[in-house]
Amino acid sequence: MERVSGAILNQWRAEARRQALAEGLDPQEVDWLLQWGAGVDKLQLRLQTQVSLARPWEEAQNLWRRRLTERRPLQYLVGEAPWRQFCLQVRPGVLIPRPETERIIDLVQEQVELTPELAQGNWLDLGTGSGALALGLAHLLPEAQVYGLDCSAVALEVAASNARRYPPPRPIRWRRGDWWQGVLDLKGQLTGLVSNPPYIPRGELPHLQREVRDYEPVLALDGGEDGLESFRVLVQKAPEFLAPGGLWLAEAMAGQAPAVCQLLENQGEYGFITIHSDLAGWERFILARRR
């Protein structure tokens, strides 16, 4: 392992944070790169001691230069993204898991505390991507059988790799298919399902941040003309798969929750429909139970 003095790291950090501000980036990304890309913690920086790096110092600096010039997400440059207690592998073609989505696991935990029988049976993560939600469920619900479904072979490869890195008490079963097509054998057998589906209205895609627009998979972003195309599929078909009392939980874009609730109400087979906020106070999560 290469060793670099804390003084050099602090000098570089200060300059990199200035560069981030000049480019309209969050300067916290510099600390993220040092921590997750080079294995440096804040205590080591404060102590000004010799620090052993997880990767060559020149390589770490080059990653930051690429971040500034290419505007490629740091998670793709480093190949990892922290999420809950995990550090998940990510790569182009797989949506980067966001901290906001961690709230889904918290909401499942709250529901299990209210209804303990939800801790068992079959759970499904629809559109699993990196496998973040499936992995979170599998560790939260050790007695449940968790399934992760995606239509992308790349996503499923990454998800399976993450499950090998953080093996849950009960192995996750990965399925490939377009929405429900990969789990037709689970009709009427799901205790719960979660999803972070594509929800960006198609007309807004060209106006997204360059980091998202140019690098993250359109398949995981494009929610159709009004952003609700995936929710219609999730709402309409889920009662065929959920057992009575089964839980339906999805993440939406800020402002979409009332429309998703209306879809659930219009379908007629859901009850206990509620909206939940993320940590910033935005109403982003919709929860319902099959009647």
CATH of the domain at 236: 3.40.50.150
* Of 51 and 91, the one with more pLDDT: 91
pLDDT at residue 43 is higher than 80 = no
Q: How many domains would you assign to the chain?
A: 2
Which structure tokens are listed for 40?
Answer: 């440096």
Q: Tens digits of per-residue pLDDT, 79-102?
A: 999 999 999 999 999 999 999 999
Q: Tens digits of per-residue pLDDT, 101-151?
A: 999 999 999 999 999 999 999 999 999 999 999 999 999 999 999 999 999
pLDDT at residue 189 is higher than 80 = yes
> Are residues 135 and 32 both part of a single domain?
no
Q: Tens digits of per-residue pLDDT, 149-172?
A: 999 999 999 999 999 999 999 999
> Are residues 227 and 281 both part of a single domain?
yes
> Whole-prediction pTM value?
0.93
Q: Which of 63, 127, 64, 61 is nearest to 97 (CA)?
A: 127
Q: Which of 207, 198, 85, 204 is nearest to 138 (CA)?
A: 85
> Are residues 141 and 46 both part of a single domain?
no
* Of 51 and 248, the one with more pLDDT: 248
Which structure tokens are listed for 241?
Answer: 């798969």
* Of 54 and 256, the one with more pLDDT: 256
Residue-level pLDDT at 113: 98
Is residue 75, in this structure, part of any structural domain at all?
no
Could you tell me if residue 255 is left (phi over 0), alpha (psi between -120 and 50 degrees) or otherwise beta? left
Phi, psi of 38 (to 5 degrees): -120, -5
Phi, psi of 22 (to 5 degrees): -65, -30
Is residue 41, in this structure, part of any structural domain at all?
yes
The boundaries of the domain holding residue 175 are 99-290
Residue-level pLDDT at 4: 85
Residue-level pLDDT at 38: 80
| % the chain with pLDDT above 70 | 97
The last residue of a domain, from among 33, 49, 70: 70
Q: Residue 48 — very low, low, confident or very high, per pLDDT cuts 50/70/90?
A: low
Residue-level pLDDT at 37: 79
pLDDT at residue 52 is higher than 90 = no
pLDDT at residue 24 is higher than 80 = yes
Q: Residue 6 — very low, low, confident or very high, per pLDDT cuts 50/70/90?
A: confident
> Are residues 51 and 137 both part of a single domain?
no
> Are residues 112 and 49 both part of a single domain?
no
> Are residues 107 and 213 both part of a single domain?
yes
> Are residues 50 and 123 both part of a single domain?
no
> Are residues 118 and 193 both part of a single domain?
yes
> Are residues 148 and 249 both part of a single domain?
yes
> Are residues 258 and 217 both part of a single domain?
yes
Mean pLDDT of the chain: 94
Residue-level pLDDT at 51: 80
> Are residues 16 and 104 both part of a single domain?
no
pLDDT at residue 215 is higher than 70 = yes
Which structure tokens are listed for 8?
Answer: 């050099």
Is residue 59, in this structure, part of any structural domain at all?
yes
Which structure tokens are listed for 93?
Answer: 């073609």
Residue-level pLDDT at 10: 87
Q: Which of 284, 282, 286 is nearest to 273 (CA)?
A: 286
> Are residues 242 and 150 both part of a single domain?
yes
